[in-house]
Amino acid sequence: GGGGGAAMAEDEGLVSVDYEVSGKVQGVFFRKYTQGEAKRLGLVGWVQNTSHGTVQGQIQGPTARVRELQEWLRKIGSPQSRISRAEFRNEKKIKALEHKEFQILK
């Protein structure tokens, strides 16, 4: 337990996290809006539709910014979307970004 300064130091690092969003998230420009929001936050990674009606992908960037996009994926999404659940897994600290940009994968 390092005390008050520990939380700040953690926010400085880079993290990678996988996500999957369920609900009405296909055919509502969800991927395009996710890409736009990620770029606005300066994050990299990818997003794609799955065969079972969800949207999945990976986010990488500064911890605090990644948290912001996680909140956005949980609650907001694209204007026409209806998010029932957003799951995040495989979160890990990374030394450097593994993607150059945030891409929409087919």
Active site residue 31: yes
Task: Give the Å distances, CA to CA, from 106 to 31, 41, 55, 68, 84.
Answer: 10, 23, 11, 25, 23
Nearest to residue 67, comparing CAs of 10, 28, 3? Answer: 10
Active site residue 82: no
Q: Which is it for strands 102-104 and 44-49: parallel, antiparallel or unpaired?
A: parallel
Please give the order of strands across the beta sheet that includes 102-104.
82-94, 14-24, 55-62, 44-49, 102-104
Catalytic residues: 31, 49
